[in-house]
Amino acid sequence: MLSVQQLACERGGKRLFSDLSFTIESGQCVQVHGANGAGKTSLLRIVCGLAEAMQGRVCWRGADTRLDPGSFRAELVYLGHAPGLKDELSAAENLDFQSQIDGCALSPLQIETALQRVGLGRQQHLPLRRFSQGQKRRVALARLVARPARLWVLDEPLAALDHAAQQLVSQLVAAHLQADGLALVTSHQPLGVESMDLRLGA
Amino acid sequence: MSAHLQACAALLRRDLRGAARRPGDVATPLFFFVVVSALFPLAIGPELGTLRLIGPGIVWVGALLSSILAMHRLFAADLADGSLEQLALSPTPLGLLVAAKVLAHWLLSGAPLVLVAPLIAVQFDLGFDSTLVLMLVLLLGTPVLSLIGAVGAALTLGLRGAELLLCLLVLPLYIPVLVFGAGAVQAQLGGLGAHAHVSVLLALLSAAAFLCPWAGSAALRIALE
């Protein structure tokens, strides 16, 4: 499904990785390992199409993602370091906005269910500036619950989360893989699901 | 197509709603415009002929400066909280989303100027007809300012000293709007009628509305790298 071919990346004049190839099939998860600065985030951003690779290409369903980015993005969820949420809006409003931008608008009931799933059922109408860092991450996770996307690209999904929320992430990823989804994840902690390991900077 | 429009409408709604909860961000450029325009009659004195002569130009310079004041925030907040990445990853073309953001910016920064323009026009003794022309050209010209400014804001996004650089980059590009906007009111005051100037402003608006969102989205993709 997703195949990365001979990817090379350079940042600030330093070669981070080169000739990197791997594939992810339905129901598989690849976990990217590497020290800080090894290029994990750069790799994820290249796969999503947010950054350009020096060389190589990323193919989705056999076609280069740069040729038809719209249909690739429709099947992709990317969760970066900054969750892309607005402090002035409530959790429910943020999720509603995000779903419409993603091209699959959710009903108020779906939003409520998703927020309940991540343990924010009672805070869903509070503005996000009253939330802690971990609670904001939970709102971002609600996107994963709510949106039917085939490929998940998660950058440090366990950061700032408590134990219960970390287990929730494991459950979500496991359920996603069970449903024939694909996941590309960086994490310094064990994810708790069966995954293939990819080491950068080795 | 309807999904794209829905995404744009959602972005417009989000920006307007966010601004409604931070009213200071909207009020500051507007008060800046009113105060700057009001300083000139006080400094120059109550000579009506002079005031009428300089009035349109001063209103336009005030509009330019007030538009640039809010401009650098257009994408900076979205970059900082990560929502710009999410916009770039939306199946909706980024150019359309940029257009929606510019529309929100204009509704919050340009449209209020059109509404307070009669208040400023009184200070310069512009008269009823010329005030209407002033409002019309502001209505056509301020969206052009927002559109051009958005390209500048995208180009300078994430740079050090972005605010000053944005002014230097964008203010020269505002000159045609300034010339024809102020010229329209002066032509009306001189009895020539403002039709020609209004047509040029309409042409500028069409060209900017067509080109700027795409230029802005290309600049944003570079800024995100």
Residue B198, phi then psi, degrees to nearest 5 = -65, -40
Kindly tell me if the per-residue pLDDT of B1 is higher than 70: no
Closest CA in chain B for residue A73: B91
Cross-chain Cβ contact B7/A100 below 8 Å: yes
| DSSP code for B21 | T
Q: What is the 3 state secondary structure string of chain A?
A: CEEEEEEEEEECCEEEEEEEEEEECCCCEEEEECCCCCCHHHHHHHHHCCCCCCEEEEEECCEECCCCHHHHHCCEEEECCCCCCCCCCEHHHHHHHHHHHCCCCCCHHHHHHHHHHCCCHHHCCCEHHHCCHHHHHHHHHHHHHHCCCCEEEEECCCCCCCHHHHHHHHHHHHHHHHCCCEEEEECCCCCCCCCEEEECCC
Does residue A86 belong to the interface with chain B, where contact is any CB pair within 8 Å?
A: yes
Predicted local confidence at residue A202, as pLDDT: 57
Mean of pLDDT values over B57-73? 90
Does residue B7 belong to the interface with chain A, where contact is any CB pair within 8 Å?
A: yes
Predicted local confidence at residue A36, as pLDDT: 86
Distance from the A193 Cα atom to the nearest Cα atom in chain B, whole angstroms: 26
Mean of pLDDT values over B57-61? 93
Q: Write out chain A's pLDDT in tens, 202 residues.
A: 898 899 888 888 888 888 888 999 999 999 998 888 888 888 999 999 998 888 889 999 988 888 888 889 989 999 988 888 998 999 999 999 999 998 888 899 999 999 998 888 888 888 888 888 888 889 988 988 888 789 999 998 888 888 888 899 999 999 999 999 999 999 888 888 888 888 887 5
User: Which of B89, B90, B98 is the best mutation test for A, with the most CBs of A within 10 A?
Assistant: B89
Cross-chain Cβ contact A101/B22 below 8 Å: no
Angstrom distance (rounded) from CA B34 to CA B66:
9
Distance from the A194 Cα atom to the nearest Cα atom in chain B, whole angstroms: 28
B/e letters for A101-126, b = 16+ CB within 10 Å, e = fewer, are: bbbebbeeebbbebbebbbbeebbee
| DSSP code for B172 | G
Burial class (CB in 10 A: 0-12, 13-18, 19+), B164: exposed
Domain of residue B176 covers: 2-224
Closest CA in chain B for residue A81: B82
User: Which of B78, B83, B97 is the best mutation test for A, with the most CBs of A within 10 A?
Assistant: B83
List CB contacts (< 8 A) between B87 and chain A.
101
Average pLDDT, chain B: 92
Angstrom distance (rounded) from CA A189 to CA A191:
6
Predicted local confidence at residue B113, as pLDDT: 93
By C-alpha distance, which of A130, A132, A92, A134 is closest to A114?
A92
Angstrom distance (rounded) from CA A38 to CA A43:
10
B95-111 pLDDT tens trace? 999 999 999 999 999 99
- Considering chain A, tell me which residue range(s) the CATH 3.40.50.300 domain(s) occupy: 1-71+150-161+182-202
| DSSP code for B90 | S
Angstrom distance (rounded) from CA B182 to CA B60:
6
Does residue A49 belong to the interface with chain B, where contact is any CB pair within 8 Å?
A: yes
B11-33 pLDDT tens trace? 999 999 999 998 888 899 999 99
Which one is the CATH code of A1-71+150-161+182-202: 3.50.30.10, 3.30.465.10, 3.30.413.10, 3.40.50.300?
Answer: 3.40.50.300
Angstrom distance (rounded) from CA A145 to CA A31:
20
B/e letters for B50-64, b = 16+ CB within 10 Å, e = fewer, are: ebbebbbbbbbbbbb
Does residue A160 belong to the interface with chain B, where contact is any CB pair within 8 Å?
A: no
Kindly tell me if the per-residue pLDDT of B129 is higher than 60: yes
Does residue B73 belong to the interface with chain A, where contact is any CB pair within 8 Å?
A: no
- The single residue listed with the structure tokens 């047509």 is B199
Strand order in the sheet with A2-11: A14-24, A2-11, A55-60, A63-64
**Is residue B123 classed as helix, strand or coil in its secondary structure?**
helix
CB B149, CB B167: distance < 8 Å? no
- Please report, for residues A58, A92, B118, the alpha-carbon distance to residue A65 in angstroms, rounded to integers and kept in the order given: 6, 31, 53
Other C-beta atoms closer than 10 Å to the C-beta of B4 total 17
B140-198 pLDDT tens trace? 999 999 999 999 999 999 888 888 999 999 999 999 999 999 999 989 888 888 889 99
Does residue B222 belong to the interface with chain A, where contact is any CB pair within 8 Å?
A: no
Number of A–B residue contacts, CB under 8 Å: 82
Does residue A136 belong to the interface with chain B, where contact is any CB pair within 8 Å?
A: no
CB B91, CB A70: distance < 8 Å? yes
Q: Is the dihedral of CA B71, B76, B82, B86 positive or negative?
A: positive
Predicted local confidence at residue B192, as pLDDT: 87
Kindly tell me if the per-residue pLDDT of B49 is higher than 60: yes
Angstrom distance (rounded) from CA A135 to CA A121:
12
Does residue A167 belong to the interface with chain B, where contact is any CB pair within 8 Å?
A: no
Closest CA in chain B for residue A79: B86
List CB contacts (< 8 A) between A70 and chain B.
91, 93
CB B51, CB B43: distance < 8 Å? no
Q: At what angle do helices B128-155 and B195-224 cross, to 10 degrees?
A: 20
Does residue B47 belong to the interface with chain A, where contact is any CB pair within 8 Å?
A: no
For residue B188, what are the contacts with CB-CB under 8 A and spacing of at least 6? B129, B130, B133, B194
Entry field: residues in chain B = 225
CB A182, CB A24: distance < 8 Å? yes
Nearest beta carbon to residue B91 from set A81, A86, A103: A103
Does residue B39 belong to the interface with chain A, where contact is any CB pair within 8 Å?
A: no
Q: Is the dihedral of CA B121, B125, B129, B133 positive or negative?
A: negative
CB A180, CB A152: distance < 8 Å? no
- Please report, for residues B84, B109, B145, the alpha-carbon distance to residue B116 in angstroms, rounded to integers and kept in the order given: 32, 12, 17
Cross-chain Cβ contact A88/B83 below 8 Å: no
Closest CA in chain B for residue A99: B7
List CB contacts (< 8 A) between B88 and chain A.
50
Q: What is the pTM of this model?
A: 0.91
Distance from the B90 Cα atom to the nearest Cα atom in chain A, whole angstroms: 5
Angstrom distance (rounded) from CA A192 to CA B73:
41
Written as six digits, the tokens of B162 are 């972005």
Count of domains observed in chain B? 1
- The neighbouring-strand residues paired with A21 are none
Does residue A22 belong to the interface with chain B, where contact is any CB pair within 8 Å?
A: no
CB B165, CB B87: distance < 8 Å? no
